Structure 1
C-alpha cells in the first residue's frame, strides 16, 4: 500500500486551515473530525499495518500486587462543623 498523502482543508465547524492524511481530518482548535468514509482511499487492514506487533508477541504479564480493594472507596473526611 502506498504511503498516505498529506491533504489540506478548512475545518467545517470553525474554518481553521487544517491538514490531514488522505482526506481524513481532525481540527485541534474546535475538535471537529470528519467521518473516516470521506477519505480518498480505503484504510489499511490490520495485517497491512507496518507498525503492527508480530502475532507471537504478547503483552508481558503484570506482576501480582495489591491493587485497589473492590467496592466503594472512602471519600475525604468531613471537616469540623460538617
Structure 2
C-alpha cells in the first residue's frame, strides 16, 4: 500500500459519538459499531503486503 494513511473523523451511525479512523474506516469504542470495509477511502492491503506473510522459498 503506497498511500500515506490519513486520520479521518465522523459521527458513529449507531450512537452519535465522534469517532476517528484511518482512511475512512471506523470502529466506535462506545457502542461497538464498525463501518463496512468497502466504505473506506482506499483499497485495503492484501495478505502479501503483510511483512509476516509466509513467502515461498525456492526449491533446491
Q: Which structure's residues are more often strand, by fraction?
A: 2
Could you say which TM-score interval applies, normalised by the shorter chain? Answer: 0.7 to 0.9
Q: Residue 18 of structure 1 aligns with which residue?
A: 19
| TM-score, normalised with respect to structure 2 | 0.78
How many correspondences in the alignment? 54
| TM-score, normalised with respect to structure 1 | 0.59
1:53 shift after superposition: 1.6
Larger Rg: 1
Where structure 1 has 5 or more consecutive residues not aligned to the other structure, the ranges are 57-82
Where structure 2 has 5 or more consecutive residues not aligned to the other structure, the ranges are 56-60
Map residues 1-82 of structure 1 onto 2, 5 A cutoff: 1-49=2-50, 52-53=51-52, 55=54
1:47 shift after superposition: 1.6
Q: Which has the higher contact order (CA 8 A, sep 6+)?
A: 2
Aligned-residue Cα RMSD (Å) equals 1.4
Query: Residues 9 and 18 of structure 2 are in contact (CA less than 8 Å); yes or no, is this contact kept in structure 1?
Result: yes
